[in-house]
Chains A and B, each alone.
Chain A
Amino acid sequence: MTLLARDPRAPFALTATLLPLERRVRGYDWVLIATALALSLAGAVLVWAATRDTSRAQGLDPQGFLYRHLFNIAVAGVLMVVASRLDARLLRLFGPIVYVISLLGLAAVFLVGSTVNGAHAWIRLGGGFELQPSEFMKLGLVVGMAVLFVQRSAERDDAPPTTLDVVLAMTLIALPLAMIMLQPDLGSAMVLAAAAFGVLIAAGVRARWTIGLLALTVVVAVLAVKGGLLADYQLARFSSFTHPGQDIQGAAYNVTQAHIAIANGGLFGTGLFHGPQTNGGFVPEQRTDFVFSVAGEELGLVGGAVLIGLYGLLCWRGLRIAAGADRAGRLVAVGIVCWIAFQAFQNIGMNLGLTPVTGLPLPFVSYGGSSMFAQGLAIGLLQAVRRRSPR
C-alpha cells in the first residue's frame, strides 16, 4: 500500500466516487457494450441449445442453464456499471485489492477447492455456487501491473520502465502464474501470460526485455514438456492436438467430437436446436469449453463467422479506447484486450483443431459465472478508462 500512500491525490473515498456522474466524463462506448451483450446473448442461446436435450434426459429443467446464464449476464451487467464508474484514483486502490484478493482466492483453492477435469481450480460456495479465482486473477493481474508501472513511472515523469520495474512486474506475474500452474490449469496460465505480455509491451518495456521474456517462455515450455512439469493429461492434450485420430476415446476425443459437430454445420448450419451431435450430448464440456461447436453445428459457417467477427469488433473497440487513453488507462485496456483476444482465439482454435485443448471458456459465450463476472468487470473497466480519457 506504500504505492498509494505516496500519491498526494489519493482520496480513498469509495462512496464519493459512486455519486452521480462527474460532469467532465465522456459517455459510454455503446458499440462495445452492444458487442459484449450480443456475444453474451448468443452465448445464452448456444448454452441453451447445448443443454436442453441432455438436461431433459436427466429429468432436469431443460431451460435451467439458460436461466442461470441469463442471471450471470445480469450480474455481470451490474458489475460492469459499477466498474465503469471507478475513476483513475480508485483504480489505483481497486487494482491491488483485486490482485491480492484473487491471489488469496488461488491460495484458498488449495485448501478448500474441488477438482474438476484434473484441475484443482474451484471453490465451492454452497448452494451449487462455485468460484474460480483464476478468472478474477486475469483482471487482477492486468490492473495490478498497470498500477505498478504507472505509479513507478509517475515518480520519474513518465520515463520508460526501469529494470527494477520489470523485475517487480515479473514478481507480480510469477506469483499467480505459479499458483495456477500448480492447480494445474494450463489454459488460464497461458491467458495470464498473454495478458501480462500485452501490458509489458504497452508499458514501453525495452525490446531486449520483451524478446528475452519470449525466449524464456519457450525455454520453460520445452523444459516443462521434457522435464515432466506438465501433468499427463496436459501432455496428452498437446499430443492429441498433433495427432487427433489416434486415441478416439481418450484425450483427442473432445476435439474429434467437436470437429464432427462443426463439420456437420456446413454453410448455414443444421438450424438452432437441430444439431444431432449437440442434442445427443456427444461433445463433452459443450456448454463451457466447447460451446463454439454448438454455433458451428447449428448456425454453420455464417453463425461461426459472425461470432468471430464480434470478437474482432470487441477487440477493435478496446484498442480504440486504449489509443485514446492516458498511460494508466492504456495499460489496463491493452491488458484486457490481450486477455480476451488470446482467450477467444485459443478457445475457438481448439474447437477447430488449430490449438491444443486447454480448459478455457469462450469469453461472454461459455456458461460459467466466474468468467462472466470477470469479463463484466473488464468491460466496465474499459468504459471507465474511456470515460476518464482526455477528449
Chain B
Amino acid sequence: MVLTLSVRLYYVQLLDPDQPVQTAGRLHDAAIVVPAPRGRILDARGRVLVDNASAQVLSVNREVLQAQPDGGTSVLTRLAGLLNTTPALLAKQITPCSPTVAAPCWTGQPYEPVPVASNASTAVALAVSEHREQFPGVELKTVAVPNYPGGTLAAHVLGYTGQITAADKTANPALSDEDTIGLSGLQAQYDSALRGTDGRQVVQLSPQGTVVSDAPSGADVAAVQGDTLVTSIDADVQRLAETSLAKQIADSRAKGKRATSGAVIVMDPNTGRVIASASYPTYSPQQFIGGISNADYAALTAPQANDPLLGRAIAGQYAPGSTFKLITASSLVTHGEISLDGSYACPGSLTIDGRVKTNYDSESFGFPLTLQNALGYSCDTFFYAPEAAEYYADQARIAAGHKPDEFLQKMAAAYGVGRSPGIDLPASEQASGSYADRETRLARWKAARPQYCKDAQRGFPDEPDPAQRAFQTALAAENCTDGWRYRAGDNADMAIGQGETTLSPLQLALAYSAMLNGGRIWQPTLGWALVDGAGKVVRTITPKVRSTVPVSRSVLNYIADSLNFSRGWAVSGAFAYIGSPYQALIGGKTGTAEVFGHQDTSWLASWGPLGRDAHGNPHAKYVVVGMVEQAGTGATAAGPMLKRIYDGLLGVTGPAIVTATALPRIGAPVGAVSAPPPTPRPDVPTAPQQPGAVPTYPTRPGSGG
C-alpha cells in the first residue's frame, strides 16, 4: 500500500506529462459586467431631453449571505422591511434561474451580485450604508440611469427604457443582464448607438463560483458611454405643442365635447425634419426607469386611460376628413376631371348609387364654385360628382376588359397613404394609413365573408337595441353577398377622406409638405446626428426624398394659394385666425371627419409663415398638423389649438422661437452622470477592510459522504 501510493505520488508530481494546470487557470476567469451609461438625447439646439441621473442600486451578494450563521435569513428579513417586500420574495429573486427555479429568479451569473432595488430611495440607501454590520452581503452601488428632465416632454418620441429580458438576450447575445435597453421611441430605434459599450471587470473564480481575486490589471475594460443623439425636436416648440394640445382638450371638454385624445405634429416641409410631435394623453418615461411597477403599468394600460403609450401623431391613424381634399384635388386636376378655370356645382346633397350624400350640415351654395372656393369653403358635393363619375368610367373600363384607372387611389398612394412613412422610429410605432380600392375590397371580403354570412344568419342576439340589431344584421347580410363590391359611394367617401380612408397626422403633414416643396414626399426623421464622447459627429441623419407626387407645381401652388388665410372667410380654416397679426402668413385646410358612433374628429393641416421663393412659389417654414378626436369641426378645435402654437412660434405671446437650421455643437456632457464608478471588488462592501472574496465552505467537522 505504502509503495503503491508513493509510486503514484511520484508519477503525479514529477513524471505526468500532461499536467492540467493551464486549463484550470483559464476556466476560472470570469467577467463582471460594468454597464455603460446610455447616451444622451438632445433637442435641435443642444438642450437635454434625456440624460443620466445617478441611482442607488442595492444588490445582494449571495455568497456572503450564505456564509452568515443563519444563511442570511435575518439580513433578508431586515432588507425586506426596508424595501416593503417579503423575505420569501427577496429570497426567490436572488436565486439563480434554472430549469427547477422559475421566475422571479436571477437571470444573471451565479457569482454576480443580484440587484434587488434598482432605484433605492435616499432613506433606504442611508439605512443600509450606515448600518453595514446589519446588512452583510448587501451592496450599495451608484449607477447611471436614464433621466428625463422634461418629465412627459416628447415622451412618445423619446420612448422608454427597461431592463433586458431573456428574449432580448437571445436576440442579441452581446447584451448583458445589467444592460438597460431602449424599448420604444428613439430609445429603441437608436438603442445600439445609445447603449454604449459595457465595461468588463475580469475576476478569477474559485470552483464554487465565488470571486477569488482580480485578474492581472489590463484585462479590465472601461465602460464607454453611448453616443449622444441630437434630434430635430425643438424643446420649446414641443412644449408649446403639448400645452396647446392639452389646453384644447380641456377647452373642448368644457364645451361639452368628449375630446378623448389628440395630436400635433410640426415639421419643416423643406428639410423633412420633425420639429415637434405631441400626443394626448401622454405618460412619463421616467416611470419605466428601474422597472415599472405593476400598479403603474396597469394604470397606463387600463381602458379608461385611453392608451397614453400610443404616440398618436405618428402611430395613430384616423379618417382625415376634408384635409384629404388636397389629394382629391391633385388627382382631379392632374387627370383633367376638373379644370382650374371651371366652376362646378355645390348642392346641399347629392344622390349617388341610390344613397343621399350631403354637405357638412347640408350647406348649399346656389351657384357653381371654382376649385379655389370649393377647397376654401370645403364643399363636399363638389368633389362627390367627379369622383362618382371616375368610378363609373372605371366600371366601364372593367366591362370593356381593361384595368380600372383608379386615379384617386393612385394619387393617394403617391402622397404616401397606405405606406409606412419610414420615420426613424420602430416600425410598430408608425402608422401606414389606408384607403379602399377594388382589389383590396375583394381580398378582404374573401377573408371575412364566412363571418359576415354567419352574422347575417344568426343576427346579433347580444345587441340590446332592436334598431341596431336590425341594422347590423342587414349590413352583415349585404356584406355576405355584396361585400366585395366597390361602389360609387365608396369613391365619393374617399374623395372627402371618409370611408376606409385613414392617415396619421405625420402622413398628412408629409402630404402638405409635398404641396409646399414642389411635390417631394419626405422620408422624415427625428434624429439629426449621433455625436461621440469627444464631440465628434459619427453619423448625420438626413431625411431622404422617397418619391415625388405626379402633380405639376402650378397645381400645387394653386391649391396652396386657395387655402391661404389671407382670403379670410372664404377659407374655413381661417376662422380662428381672422384679425391675428400673421393671418396672411398662414394657410390651412380643415377637416371634420365623421366616425360612426363617435363625435367628429377635428383636423387642421396648416403651414406658415408663408413667403415666396426665388421662383415665386409659395414657401412655408413649418407645416403644422393638429387633430383632436371627438372635438367637433376643424375650425372650432384644431384651428384655435394650432393658433396658440403659431402665437408662440411667431412671437405673439412671448419672444419668437428661432428653430435650429444647423446642427448644434455638442461638447462633453454637462451635468450628466459619468459611468458607474468601477467597483474595485464586487464583494467588498460587507467587509471593506478585507481584500479577499468569499468562497463558501461548509462549516462542519467531518467529511462529505
A residues at B contact (CB < 8 Å): 51, 53-54, 56-59, 68, 72, 114, 116-122, 128-130, 132, 135, 183-188, 245, 248-249, 253, 256-257, 259-260, 262-267, 277, 280-285, 287-289, 296, 300-301, 304-305, 308-309, 311-312, 341, 345, 348-349, 352-354, 358-361, 366-371
Contacts of A186 in B (CB 8 A): 705
Q: Which B residues between 475 and 523 are near A, CB-CB below 8 angstroms?
A: none
Nearest CB to that of A135 among chain B residues?
B702
Determine if A267 and B13 form an interchain contact, defined as CB atoms under 8 angstroms apart: yes
Least Cβ–Cβ distance between A262 and chain B, in angstroms: 5
Determine if A368 and B212 form an interchain contact, defined as CB atoms under 8 angstroms apart: no
Q: Which B residues between 251 and 300 are near A, CB-CB below 8 angstroms?
A: none
Determine if A305 and B9 form an interchain contact, defined as CB atoms under 8 angstroms apart: yes
Determine if A132 and B702 form an interchain contact, defined as CB atoms under 8 angstroms apart: yes
* A-B pairs with beta carbons under 8 Å apart, 16 shown: A51-B697, A54-B692, A59-B690, A120-B705, A121-B705, A248-B23, A249-B207, A260-B19, A260-B21, A260-B24, A281-B697, A309-B6, A354-B8, A361-B703, A368-B702, A370-B702
A54-B695, A280-B212 known; 5 new pairs, CB 8 Å cut-off, are A57-B692, A118-B704, A256-B20, A288-B701, A359-B703
Determine if B9 and A296 form an interchain contact, defined as CB atoms under 8 angstroms apart: yes
Determine if B702 and A288 form an interchain contact, defined as CB atoms under 8 angstroms apart: yes
Least Cβ–Cβ distance between A345 and chain B, in angstroms: 5
Contact of B705 among A280, A287, A359 (CB under 8 A): A359
Contacts of A284 in B (CB 8 A): 207-208
Q: Which B residues between 1 and 34 are near A, CB-CB below 8 angstroms?
A: 1-2, 4-6, 8-10, 12-14, 16, 19-21, 23-24, 27-28
Contacts of B208 in A (CB 8 A): 281, 284
Contact of A117 among B12, B204, B694, B705 (CB under 8 A): B705
Contact of A348 among B5, B23, B692, B703 (CB under 8 A): B5
Determine if A371 and B705 form an interchain contact, defined as CB atoms under 8 angstroms apart: no
CA gap between A8 and B697 in the complex, in Å: 53
Contacts of A312 in B (CB 8 A): 1-2
Interface size on B, residues (CB 8 A): 43
Contacts of A349 in B (CB 8 A): 4-5, 8
Determine if B701 and A183 form an interchain contact, defined as CB atoms under 8 angstroms apart: no
Give the 10 A-B residue pairs with the shortest CB-CB distance, closest first: A119-B705, A57-B692, A117-B704, A185-B705, A359-B704, A288-B703, A312-B2, A368-B701, A281-B695, A368-B702
Determine if B14 and A266 form an interchain contact, defined as CB atoms under 8 angstroms apart: yes
Contacts of A353 in B (CB 8 A): 8, 12
Determine if A282 and B702 form an interchain contact, defined as CB atoms under 8 angstroms apart: no
Determine if A130 and B206 form an interchain contact, defined as CB atoms under 8 angstroms apart: no
Contacts of A354 in B (CB 8 A): 4-5, 8
Determine if A121 and B13 form an interchain contact, defined as CB atoms under 8 angstroms apart: no
Contacts of A296 in B (CB 8 A): 9, 12-13
Nearest CB to that of A295 among chain B residues?
B9
CA gap between A51 and B696 in the complex, in Å: 11
Least Cβ–Cβ distance between A114 and chain B, in angstroms: 8
Determine if A263 and B20 form an interchain contact, defined as CB atoms under 8 angstroms apart: yes
Interface 0/1 of B684-702, CB less than 8 Å to A: 0011001011110111111
Nearest CB to that of B23 among chain A residues?
A248
Most buried by B among A280, A300, A305: A280
Contact of A267 among B2, B14, B693 (CB under 8 A): B14
Determine if A264 and B21 form an interchain contact, defined as CB atoms under 8 angstroms apart: yes
CA gap between A165 and B6 in the complex, in Å: 39
Determine if A54 and B697 form an interchain contact, defined as CB atoms under 8 angstroms apart: yes
CA gap between A122 and B701 in the complex, in Å: 9
With contacts A58-B67, A280-B212, A345-B1 known, is A187 near B705, CB below 8 A? yes
Contacts of B14 in A (CB 8 A): 266-267, 301
Contacts of B207 in A (CB 8 A): 249, 253, 257, 281-284
